[in-house]
A = this chain, B = another copy of it.
């Protein structure tokens, strides 16, 4: 399947024009860490610490803010258990799982073509 801005704009003329909601959502999910967090959570529910380790190099701040953005977007759900020590789990919502599947081909492409990248 191809992308085709033209085709998408045939049904919605505002598709990916400046300041449209599509742009905002696209910026969220293609953010530096957003892609990696979704990819990590695609494997299933994870705790904060697991996620931090799975997404190599992420700072605590960016993990927190990206997760909050995704929660607000309804892509990730958070469940905190009232225990000592605390345990908090993050899971993709059904919508988030759709996203994970939609990103599958892109991730595969990156996986097989990383060698080509120039500086």
Interface residues of A (CB under 8 A from B): 1-8, 12, 15-22, 24-32, 35-36, 38-40, 42-43, 54, 56-57, 69, 72-74, 95, 98-111, 113-119
Contacts and interface: CB of A to CB of B under 8 A. Distances in A.
Nearest to A118: B72
Given A27-B32, A35-B30, A43-B6, A56 B105 contact: no
Contact of A110 (B18, B29, B105): B29
A62 to B, nearest CB: 13
Copies in the complex: 2
Given A95-B116, A105-B101, A5 B54 contact: yes
24 contacts: A1-B101, A1-B108, A2-B100, A2-B101, A3-B39, A3-B103, A3-B107, A4-B42, A4-B43, A5-B39, A5-B42, A16-B39, A21-B115, A22-B111, A26-B35, A29-B106, A29-B110, A30-B32, A72-B119, A74-B116, A95-B116, A98-B113, A102-B108, A104-B105
